[in-house]
Amino acid sequence: MYGTIGKMKIKPGEEENVRQVLSQWENEDKDTIDGVVATYFMVPDDSPGEMIGVAVFRDKDAYLANGNSPEQHERFMKLRALLESDPEWTDGEYLSL
């Protein structure tokens, strides 16, 4: 499995809008995004206004295909408008130990 972990800084007052955008993605992921295994979002206890997102894909090819699609760009731009800056991304292979 392959994917990304992203750290996001949300604009003040936009937390609920971010949750709505991510909820919409969650509903779409299972039905329309090829290769997605799971997505998770966390609000860290010690970092108000931040969120951590985790996306898991079947493999790197599926991850890259999604990342390069116009549909994903459109989804991301809706989220990006609610953030202070671009997320900090860490891409890589997920290990099952």
One-letter amino acid of 30:
K
Q: How much is the pLDDT for 63?
A: 96
For the chain, list the domains and their CATH numbers: 2-93 (3.30.70.100)
Q: Give average pLDDT by consecutive 10-residue segment, the chain, 97 residues.
A: 97 94 75 85 92 95 95 93 97 91
d(CA 10, CA 25): 17
Q: How much is the pLDDT for 28?
A: 66
Phi then psi for residue 86, to 5 deg, are: -60, 145
Q: How much is the pLDDT for 60?
A: 98
One-letter amino acid of 58:
R
Is the CA virtual torsion 1, 22, 87, 77 positive or negative? positive
Provide the whole-model pTM: 0.87
